[in-house]
Structure 1
Amino acid sequence: MLPVRRFLLLPLLLVLSLTACAERQEDAPQTPADSSGFPVELKPEGAPAVTLEERPERIVSLSPSTTEVLYAVGAGDQVVAVDEMSTVPENAPRTEMSGLSPDPQQIAGHNPDLVVVESDTDGKLADALAKTGTPTLVLPAPTSLDSMYAQFELVGEATGHEKEGADLARQTKQEIEKLVADAGDAGKGLSYYHELDPSFYSVTSETFIGQVYDLFGLTNIADQGDPSAHGGYPQLSAEKILSADPDLVFLADTQCCGQNAETVAKRPGWDTLTAVKEDQVIELEDDAASRWTPRLVDFVRAVADGVTKAAA
């Protein structure tokens, strides 16, 4: 059975401190929503279409990624409650509600006119909330960067901030493309290991996170000939990692588990790794690479800096 943290992180995925992108989200001006585009039909990828008759004024978000995007498009003033895992921005109205096991009664207590969740596989939540006249918008984890950009635009449409959503998608895409272009071919021929926790859970190239590394031409040691194995989240062994000897190690367990370049170097045998000897153990912000938000730019920047340094 996967550790508890896996169940919290994996659905949110698919890095550095909360720098420029986080600041953009928290400081994004809360522009007045435009009601002229309503009613609007929303067609999220991999989820049921939803029609909003009016601009929502009381939004409950049970998806940490969507919470960030809501604020980034300027709809923060419309958000009345978020789930316990929505830690960014800091001023979001956090509650003890769970996005993994949402309680319709708890949600209804906030009198929302729109509820956003990451999944509702059996449709029970949507059915329960529909009885109160509240629409449920399901926004699954994007499967690609293009899907992420499309979600930015959709959140803008859903909240009356269509222009802001389109601008956010365009700006994020441009920043990522520039980082990749500036790195050029620096990543080709280099291998990496992405660590989700100290028990060596990792990601393959088929995951959202893995696709970011693919932009730089890096080789993922976790693929092991079958990137689709274990749902894209295999648990490696220390022996496998040491044998693969990755050129770069990316740690996405710095906050949850206190991992850093020093702790990695102290692991038995790890001081022989190329990444350790060449000072290529890169400490990431735990959730920056697991949430489809504008902060993904920070993760891409960390990868770009790592491959550029390793190739120098």
Structure 2
Amino acid sequence: MGHNRKTWTVLLGLLAAAALLVSACGDDDDDDGIDAPAPDATGELSSGNEEEPRESATAVGTAAAGDAPDDDGFPLTVERSDGEELVIEEAPQRIVSLDASATEILYAIDAGDQIVAADLYSNFPEEALLKARLDAFAPSPEAILAEEPDLVLIFSNEGDIVSVLDDLGVEVLFLEPPAELDGIMERVELFGEITGHGEEAAAVASDMANRVDSIVEAVSGADEGPRVFHELDNTLFSVGPGSFIGDLYELLGAENVAAAAGQPFPQLTSEAIIAADPEVVILADEAFGETIETVSARPGWAVITAVREGRIHGVDPDIASRPGPRIVEFLELVAAYLYPELFE
């Protein structure tokens, strides 16, 4: 079954709003109505504007700078997602971030002024829109080299770009998105080490952990978690075990109706969702036209408890689908949707 570019970016991502066909997913059907696993996810679905004003290719970031990078702890050896090791000799000063989540993390730890270029979907904070813009899904070695980077951050090896940059002598850190919430906080701390902002990163990760603990404690008294369906797009891709979003629902004690697929980003059938009867539906595709009205109008969905009781909630896909500091905002928001009686 083909799927559009929005679906591709949704799926680690999850997470882009384009209509370009980029791949094909499996078409094997399971007995429970859940299709074969989707392709590798990007964790990024963005409704950001790709045409915002930007800096020139060699401009330095305009975000308020924090303390100067700390050169202690270098050289630093980091294992990439392809198993190769990258040795970073000193804190990079010209980072190309082809990962919107990485961009958000760098700004959160006061390393935004070390970014010289970012991918098309790096739209938070607003200062990121001023950076030179590069396409992470069709990466151009020439465009990357033009930025004279001392480090390139990549979450997906599109077009074997990692090997291409390796051969060109460019330092590239290929890190796939974390599969769980703890991994996101570890990623924050890692980026702190890499950029020389370890103290700032530790503070961000600690704040995230404290907020997570507060939410988990607040919902721990619930007798039973509700059944929930998390919709990535209107072709019914969802989240399951092995995805950081699936991990969030598990932390909240919810019964994820897509968990039975046993895959990070499964595609469900309408029949399977109706049979599972979710009590809450979370729409990560509201920015792309899905609403309580469109969901309620789907054939057969009128019998679903979430539809009958009006418990269909849209969420900002950038917050819901990016493994960065703002994922805690999503956790807090969804906790209130799942357990409204605990957050009145």
Q: TM-score, normalised by structure 2?
A: 0.78
The counterpart of 2:96, out of the listed 57, 60, 73, is 60
Partner of 2:148: 111
How far did 1:289 drift?
Answer: 2.0
Alignment of 1:221-260 (within 5 A): 221-224=257-260, 226-228=261-263, 232-255=264-287, 257-260=288-291
How far did 1:288 drift?
Answer: 1.6
Aligned-CA RMSD value? 2.6
Q: Give per-residue Cα distances to partners, 1:170-226, cap 9 Å, x unaligned.
A: 1111111211111224372421111111122212233221111011221122234x4
Amino acid at match of 1:3: N
The SS at the match of 2:313 is strand
The counterpart of 1:120, out of the listed 157, 160, 166, is 157
Q: Distance in 2 between matches of 1:248 and 1:187?
A: 16
Q: Distance in 2 between matches of 1:29 and 1:279?
A: 45
Pair 220,97 (structure 1): closer, same or farther in 2 beyond 3 Å: same
Q: Which structure 1 segments of 5+ residues have no match? A: 15-25
Amino acid at match of 2:268: L
- Retained in 2: the 8 A contact 1:47–1:138? no
- Retained in 1: the 8 A contact 2:257–2:276? yes
Partner of 1:265: 296
Amino acid at match of 1:7: W
The SS at the match of 1:194 is strand
- Retained in 2: the 8 A contact 1:57–1:79? yes
Higher relative contact order at CA 8 Å, sep ≥6: structure 1 or structure 2?
1
Q: Which structure 2 segments of 5+ residues have no match? A: 15-42, 44-61
Partner of 2:11: 10
The SS at the match of 2:286 is coil
Q: Distance in 2 between matches of 1:258 and 1:306?
A: 20
Q: Does 1:217 align with 2:253?
A: yes
Partner of 2:197: 161
Q: TM-score, normalised by structure 1?
A: 0.85
- Retained in 1: the 8 A contact 2:233–2:284? yes
Amino acid at match of 1:141: P
More strand by share: 2
Amino acid at match of 1:114: L
Partner of 1:300: 331
